[in-house]
Structure 1
């Protein structure tokens, strides 16, 4: 019996270059905490997401408090969409467009 040859699996990996991070955008909220439904046309200029990958430049910069899996608030103006996963929204985001990092507790000094 002849063995069936399968095509080798190809994994794609996106590594941001320079002062950039790869972010998976959070799903947009359709209603407020108070239960008010937001129309689809309502666009908020800053959005949240999780850092998937950081560039070597960001990783080695002690001045930047960004780490993989951090939840961030970013401005999407200069974010570049990455069409790698059809059901997820990935963006390469410049560090300058990151407005805030969400933390559970204050950093120790």
Structure 2
């Protein structure tokens, strides 16, 4: 009996043009102050982590985005990717990335304290 020599195919999504692939964070239904938001409440911006960056953006110094950055993005032009059962992936135009969350390192903080 001959064994099948089929290789395993791995699918992935690669954004093209001025876009990034983002895994959306779970929506928060409670504010920091403890106010519960109704399910119908529309939140105009969403946070998520960058999964992949298009080559165009990766080589563009005007967009300091890196894989795994946590970002805030406007979802209006975000395109959902029907790739997973619990679809949390979106292709987002870089123009809709509103902010990148950064942490200040200790060396930067201490240097600014010296000035």
SS of 1:48's equivalent? strand
TM-score normalised to structure 2 length = 0.84
SS of 2:22's equivalent? strand
What is the CA distance between 1:37 and its match in structure 2?
1.1
TM-score normalised to structure 1 length = 0.88
Based on CA coordinates, which of the two structures has the bigger radius of gyration?
2
Aligned to 1:44: 43
Q: How does 1:59-98 map to 2 (within 5 A)?
A: 59-98=58-97
What is the CA distance between 1:88 and its match in structure 2?
3.7
The superposition leaves residues 38-68 of structure 1 with CA deviations (integer Å, 9 ceiling, x where unpaired) of 1000111110000000000000011111000
The whole-number CA distance in structure 2 between the counterparts of 1:67 and 1:8 is 31
Aligned to 1:11: 10
What is the CA distance between 1:3 and its match in structure 2?
6.1
The whole-number CA distance in structure 1 between the counterparts of 2:2 and 2:46 is 50
RMSD over aligned CA atoms reads 1.7
SS of 1:77's equivalent? coil
What is the CA distance between 1:10 and its match in structure 2?
2.1
Residue segments in structure 2 that go unaligned for 5+ positions in a row: 109-115
Matched length: 106
Residue segments in structure 1 that go unaligned for 5+ positions in a row: none
SS of 1:78's equivalent? coil
